């Protein structure tokens, strides 16, 4: 009993440290992680960091960036720096929730399809292909115009339209993993299909999906920003995209109102794409040695 505890603790730590070390070797991944951590800190401690309330209007409208207002002010005299910091909360949660949902649906459907094969696989593959054909952005536009632009709907719809990529990745993994001898061993020792699926197939095949999810988080943030930019964002919440939308009429003489939130969107997408690449690098078995 004690041996078991000793076993799993020491070894798992080892494996984790190894992976972390591996990840830290990739400079892009480190930069991406750093940006993301800064954003997360910004989102969590927004009230502490922000010098002003994001919604307090003043008479100092459209002021250019200065020491008083780091990023300047918008057309209603609100401090842009504070608004960007509070916007991080919305944009990041859109990224996490939408990509998380997409990953969960994709992993389940993809692994099921690949593992069971045969007619199940044929049908599910067709469904995946059908979903891949749907132009996601227009579907989102339709849904938003029918149900209103609640942020929950936006996250949900982004998640529900991006899962096919994850499902495809997971399916390909499941297809190759199920041919391995250890799956035959599992069947031969009496493991049930569900146990094999959740105990062997998914843990062994999930890493491409994780890496892809990091990319999709950036994508989701971008999609939400695009929706907000054309005026279909959640009216009650201020995301980065919303800030760009609000600054748009004044962009000729107050460019900071759109450039600065734009930079944040770009940074977030960049960070997630770097992290995605870094994860891919870490979990690539060919990189066991040095880079």
Partner 1 sequence: MDKNILEVKNLKKYFPVRKMGKKQYVKAVDDLNFSIREGEIFGVLGESGCGKSTLGRVINRLDFEQSGDITFLNNVISGKSYKSDKNFRKKMQMIFQNPYDSFDPKMLIYKSIELPMKINDVNSDAGSRINEIVETMNKAKLTPAESLLTRYPHELSGGQLQRISIIRSMLLKPKFIIADECVSMLDVSVRAGVLNLLLTFQEELNSAMLFITHDISVATYICNRIMVLYAGKIMEIAESKDILDNPLHPYTRALVSYSPIISKEEKKRFRITGEVVTPIDPPPGCRFASRCPMAKDICKKEEPILKEIGKNRKAACHFV
Interacting span for partner 1 (CB under 8 A) from 57-65, 174-182, 250-258, 272-280: 174-182
Interacting span for partner 1 (CB under 8 A) from 1-9, 67-75, 145-153, 208-216: 1-9
Q: Minimum Å distance from CB 170 to partner 1? A: 15
Question: Exactly one of 125, 150, 204, 287 binds partner 1 (CB under 8 A); which one?
Answer: 204
Q: Minimum Å distance from CB 158 to partner 1? A: 30
Q: How many residues bind partner 1 (CB under 8 A)?
A: 27
* Identity of the residue, 188 or 236, whose beta carbon is nearer to partner 1 in the bound complex: 188
Question: Exactly one of 19, 176, 192, 284 binds partner 1 (CB under 8 A); which one?
Answer: 192
- Binding flag, residue 118, partner 1 (CB under 8 A): no
Interacting span for partner 1 (CB under 8 A) from 71-79, 167-175, 193-201, 261-269: 193-201
Interacting span for partner 1 (CB under 8 A) from 7-15, 47-55, 131-139, 143-151: 7-15
Match 């977030």 to its residue by tokens.
268
Question: Exactly one of 189, 252, 253, 291 binds partner 1 (CB under 8 A); which one?
Answer: 189
Q: Minimum Å distance from CB 185 to partner 1? A: 5
- Binding flag, residue 1, partner 1 (CB under 8 A): yes
Cα 185 vs. chain centroid, distance in angstroms?
36
Q: Produce one character per residue of 15-44: b if its CB has 16 or more CB atoms within 10 Å, e if not.
A: eeeeeeebbeebebbeebbebbeebeebbe
Question: Exactly one of 185, 230, 249, 251 binds partner 1 (CB under 8 A); which one?
Answer: 185
Question: Exactly one of 34, 45, 147, 182 binds partner 1 (CB under 8 A); which one?
Answer: 182
User: Where does this chain bind partner 1 (CB under 8 A)?
Assistant: 1, 3-4, 6-8, 10-11, 15, 180-182, 184-193, 195, 199-200, 203-204
């Amino acid at each position: 009993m004690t041996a078991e505890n000793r076993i799993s603790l020491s070894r798992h730590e080892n494996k984790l440290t190894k992976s972390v070390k591996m990840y830290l070797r990739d400079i892009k991944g480190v930069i991406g992680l750093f940006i993301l951590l800064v954003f997360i800190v910004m989102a969590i401690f927004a009230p502490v960091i922000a010098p002003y309330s994001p919604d307090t209007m003043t008479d100092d409208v459209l002021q250019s960036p200065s020491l008083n207002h780091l990023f300047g002010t918008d057309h209603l005299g609100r401090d842009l720096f504070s608004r960007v910091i509070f916007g991080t909360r919305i944009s990041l949660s859109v990224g996490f929730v939408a990509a998380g949902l997409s990953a969960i649906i994709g992993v389940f459907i993809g692994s099921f399809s690949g593992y069971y094969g045969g007619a199940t696989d044929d049908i599910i593959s067709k469904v995946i292909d059908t979903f891949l054909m749907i132009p996601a952005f227009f579907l989102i536009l339709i849904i938003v115009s029918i149900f209103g632009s609640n942020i929950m709907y936006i996250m949900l719809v982004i998640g529900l339209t991006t899962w096919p990529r994850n499902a495809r990745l997971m399916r390909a993994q499941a297809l190759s993993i199920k041919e391995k001898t250890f799956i035959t061993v599992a069947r031969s020792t009496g493991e049930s299909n569900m146990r094999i699926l959740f105990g062997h197939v998914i843990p062994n095949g999930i890493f491409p999906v994780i890496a892809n999810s990091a990319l999709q988080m950036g994508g989701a943030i971008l999609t939400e920003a695009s929706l907000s930019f054309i005026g279909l964002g959640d009216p009650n919440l201020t995301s980065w995209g919303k800030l760009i939308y609000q600054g748009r009429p004044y962009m000729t003489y107050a460019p900071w109102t759109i450039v600065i939130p734009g930079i944040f969107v770009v940074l977030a997408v960049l960070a997630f794409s770097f992290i995605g690449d870094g994860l891919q690098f870490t979990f690539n078995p060919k990189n066991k040695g040095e880079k």
